[in-house]
Amino acid sequence: LRPRVTIANNGPYKGGNRTVLASLRELPDTEDVWQLHRSASQEGDTAYDAYIANLEADDHDQARWIGLDAREDGSFAVTNGRTGWTKAYEGTHKTR
């Protein structure tokens, strides 16, 4: 696989450890790493805040989402439900 974007379905205390996120960033052709939650553990590593849906853990977690809108031309957009910010990615292949 050669993903252009990865979306980590992590929680504040699971799935966002430094090794996993570093591996995602090092994948060839990966432009951005998005996360559902900021990693709260000491070993955690995080994306930039703009790419994280939930910055707070525990009782302050707002259960924000990350959405993906894919199109036939290979382009897609990812939206951060916390901020409403959307980043568009151009298509990489032609439609039939």
Q: Provide the pLDDT confidence category of residue 45 given band limits of 50, 70 and 90.
A: low
The residues with which 13 forms a beta bridge, in sequence order, are: none
What is d(CA 8, CA 77) in angstroms, rounded to the nearest whole number? 16
Tell me what the mean pLDDT of segment 29-40 comes to. Answer: 91
Give pTM, 2 decimals. 0.85
Residue 86 pLDDT > 90, yes or no? yes
